[in-house]
Structure 1
Amino acid sequence: MEDLSSTQPKPANPDASPSLPSLPPPAHGNDAEPAAASGTTQDAPSTGAEPSAKAQGKAPATTGTTENEDLTIDPVEPSAGGGASDGDIAVEIMLLLTTGARHPFRIDEKYLTKRNVTVTGKTEDGEMDPSSITVYTLKELILRDWRKEWDQPPREPSAIRLIHFGRMLEDRMPLNHYQFSNTSRNVVHMTVKPQDIIDEEEAAKKVKDSGHSGGRSGCCVIL
């Protein structure tokens, strides 16, 4: 009988060598390029997505500025020059405070329309003339755009005193009466009348008015 204990089992694949493990084929020449290309293809979407993400992050910061930024009295003097730069007819005013601060103030059609100010004066070309507004209207505009860093605002525009070329501006007179220019900057000194002086003037005016309204004074006739 055949001794089965000494018989070696036959391999399932006769051609395979049992002593040598199978190894992957080496990469030669163009075999390595697909791997590198595939790696580049995978990185491309993430690289291209970065600018769009940054753009989305910057979008809220590029929102439009408020309309009132160019419609109020500026905090500081931006430049030494004056005059309107966009071709519109405007009155450029440099407000000089008692503290020495300088505040540019530009009055044009856009500004007056925003403030609901009706201007009837016209230039020689038929355009709206901002220098035709009265001094009192100018005081009203200054009071409406009163800056927070200034002193306590007065209760009424008439308490504001404006001086141009050494002349005290009267409320009822238009700006062009005092030769306000539409092409160069107009320097205006601004002060505020103290409230106690205003109260004294009003009290004196009431006493004066009451004296004139008493009618004819009595007289004595001797017969």
Structure 2
Amino acid sequence: MASGDVELKFRMTDGSDIGPNKYSSSETVQALKEAIIENWPQGKEGCPKSVQDVKLIHAGKVLDNARTLGESRVPVAETGNLITMHVVIRPQVAEPKAAAKEGQEPKKGGCGGCCIL
């Protein structure tokens, strides 16, 4: 492994992994998230649509998209060490269904009976 490289694998909430792969310490967190989306396992549910749907967690901290691995204090250049980052995917929000009959207004959430004066 070259100096400044780090070997990462990404652990998802179901315990499956993506990787391991080698990345440079100058790699941004956003680029890592793009790699996760590209390498998402075939047939696996919940594939994220964009990098905003993915959170990367290392050492208990959510990593910022604009920062590099080096800036995020991910230990680099430690030979033979494999670092695991946890991946959390934002759940997909279902689109509201259209009203059953045309002209019928969809129901609004909540009871609507409270009023604060």
Q: TM (normalized to structure 1)?
A: 0.37
Counterparts in 2 of 1:1-223, with a 5 A limit?
87-89=1-3, 90-108=5-23, 130-180=24-74, 181-183=76-78, 184-196=81-93
Instruction: Please tell me the residue identity of whatever aligns with 1:192.
Output: I
Distance apart, 1:192 and its partner CA: 0.5
Superposition deviation, residue 151 in structure 1: 2.0
**What is the percentage of aligned positions where both structures have the same residue?**
25
More helix by share: 1
Pairs aligned (count): 91
SS of alignment partner, residue 107 of structure 1: strand
Please identify the structure whose Cα radius of gyration is greater.
1
- Partner of 2:99 in structure 1? none
Cα distance in 1 for residues equivalent to 2:43 and 2:71: 31
Give the match for residue 28 of structure 1.
none
Q: Note if contact 2:46-2:91 (Cα within 8 Å) is conserved in structure 1.
A: no
CA contact (8 A) 1:92 1:182 kept: no
- Check 1:100–1:156 CA distance in 2 against 1; reply closer, same or farther (3 A cut): same
Letter in 1 for 2:92: Q
Amino acid at match of 1:194: P
Secondary structure of 1:93's partner?
strand
The letter for the 2-side match of 1:134 is T
Say what the alpha-carbon RMSD is for the aligned residues.
2.2
TM-score normalised by the chain length of structure 2: 0.66
Deviation at 1:133, TM superposition (A): 1.4
Which is bigger in relative contact order (C-alpha 8 A, separation at least 6)? 2
Give the secondary-structure state (helix, strand or coil) at the position aligned to 1:148. coil
* Contact residue 135 and residue 170 of structure 1 kept, 8 A: yes
